[in-house]
Structure 1
Amino acid sequence: MPILTWSHWRKVPNGLWRWKNFSPAEIACRGTGALKIDTEALDKLQALRDRLGKPLIIRSAYRSPEHNRRVGGAPRSKHMDGTAFDIAMANHDPVAFEAAAREVGFLGFGYYPRSGFMHIDLGPARSWGEKFPARAVPFAPETPPAREVLAESRTFRGSGAAGAATVGAAGVEVLQEALAETQSTIQPLVPYLDALRWVLVAIALIGIAVTIHARLDDWKRGQR
């Protein structure tokens, strides 16, 4: 693959640059502005950007020999060949990033979790540094326990039945008194109404018992 060099990134002809997600200034030496392009390395970097579908924040790419010495780079650093890149992990999962980088053909990996970036280069195959800690997976939001619909709850049904029966019993009692005073011709019905009143009273008591049981049961299960 051809190696292209310029004394400064501003001298790169516009029509020559084909890596759509990167600019010459991003790849150039941070100290001198000089630029050395290994086209295979840039093609793989663009392929990595396409695979991940999100920006790659380049902390360091090409380094001139003098700038490499100034920043304490390795004497034979791949950065001086234009085949290495330091990429910030701020917007990437390091595990997914490394897997994608290997898939597109990068072979050398350096891990710098304290500084927040990963070094990748064309090889030879090797790795160094302490790997990034696994990122915590967010828990799925806790689903609240299903609550009974009010119209269908045992408490509502019990209290509703008790209330209806109580009202009915009172109504029967009023009707019974009215019939006893004003309608002597249907006096034989009064005993039956009396029995109906006691039936409704019994239903009211059952409804109250159901309501109390439901509330105690819900309390035991922590639903209220």
Structure 2
Amino acid sequence: MAFYQHWRNVPKRVWSWPSFSPAEIACRGTGKILINEDALNRLQDLRTILGKPMIVHSAYRSPEHNRAVGGAKASKHMEGTAFDISMANHDPASFIAAARKAGFQGIGTYPRSNFIHIDTGPGRAWGDPFPARASSFALDQAPARERLADSRTLKGGGAASIGTVGAAGIEVAQQTLAEAQGAIQPLIGHLDTLRWLFIALALGGIAITIYARIDDWKRGRR
């Protein structure tokens, strides 16, 4: 085992678990990290068995942080042998079976907080059962690219461009007709109305583009 006052101090040469980073395993309250090679080897094995990413809520806890969060006095987290894993992208039953296969014998289930505690301590189990789920989660797939034809940003930008060009074109036509013979002067009023319609189209397109960008930003923050 190796202890570091902060996860940033961990040399790259000693970190052998490619699916995880020192920041994920370090104490959430202090940044300190205790590297337990055996436990991390099992965690990496579990990641390989599952074949999909694991979201680590909590791993090592310094004694002071463990007290602050109300952890057990002899919590395995302080030994670097316990991990709390989110069930956001895992089926709980399948996860528990895989965890036991990887060598984790301590299993605690927390359905209200949607995570499962696993540790390398003696065989034991506690907590409430997770409610049955309609189906197991599918394997992760690469996110599909947004089709350009369906992009709200492009649609809004296109409308803004059309409106801007149209309004400018009408203004040029008005100026040209104003210099023409009086017989076609009545058309100028209609063209003025059309010009305002193009301006409204341009403003609407700009509004759609701004809304789409803000909405996409909010989704990315979730």
The normalised TM-score by structure 1 is 0.60
Please give the root-mean-square deviation of Cα atoms over the aligned residues, in Å: 0.9
1:77 Cα shift? 0.2
User: 1:129 maps to which residue?
Assistant: 127
**Residue 72 of structure 1 pairs with residue 65 of structure 2:** no
Distance 2:33 2:135 in 1: 40
Output aligned runs, 1:85-124, within 5 Å.
85-124=83-122
Q: Which amino acid aligns with 1:112?
A: Y
Distance 1:137 1:83 in 2: 31
The normalised TM-score by structure 2 is 0.60
Identity of aligned residues (%): 65
**Residue 50 of structure 1 pairs with residue 48 of structure 2:** yes
User: Which residue of 11, 17, 39 corresponds with 2:9?
Assistant: 11
1:43 Cα shift? 0.1
Deviations 1:36-67 (CA, angstroms, capped at 9, x unpaired): 01100000000000110100100000000000
Distance 1:17 1:112 in 2: 30
Q: Which amino acid aligns with 1:60?
A: S
Distance 1:55 1:131 in 2: 23
SS of aligned partner of 2:116: strand
Distance 2:9 2:97 in 1: 35
Distance 1:60 1:92 in 2: 17
Q: Which amino acid aligns with 2:65?
A: H
Distance 1:113 1:36 in 2: 28
User: 1:176 maps to which residue?
Assistant: none
Deviations 1:142-192 (CA, angstroms, capped at 9, x unpaired): xxxxxxxxxxxxxxxxxxxxxxxxxxxxxxxxxxxxxxxxxxxxxxxxxxx
Distance 1:137 1:5 in 2: 41
Distance 1:64 1:56 in 2: 22
Distance 2:106 2:12 in 1: 31
Q: Which amino acid aligns with 1:30?
A: R
1:137 Cα shift? 3.2
Output aligned runs, 1:1-224, within 5 Å.
3-137=1-135
Runs of 4+ in 1 over 4 A off after TM superposition: none
Rg larger in structure:
1
Q: Which amino acid aligns with 1:71?
A: V
Q: Which amino acid aligns with 2:133?
A: R
Distance 1:43 1:88 in 2: 19
Count of paired positions: 136
Q: Which amino acid aligns with 2:102?
A: V
SS of aligned partner of 1:86: strand
User: 2:189 maps to which residue?
Assistant: none
Structure 2 stretches lacking a partner, 5+ long: 137-222
SS of aligned partner of 2:84: strand
Distance 1:98 1:19 in 2: 21
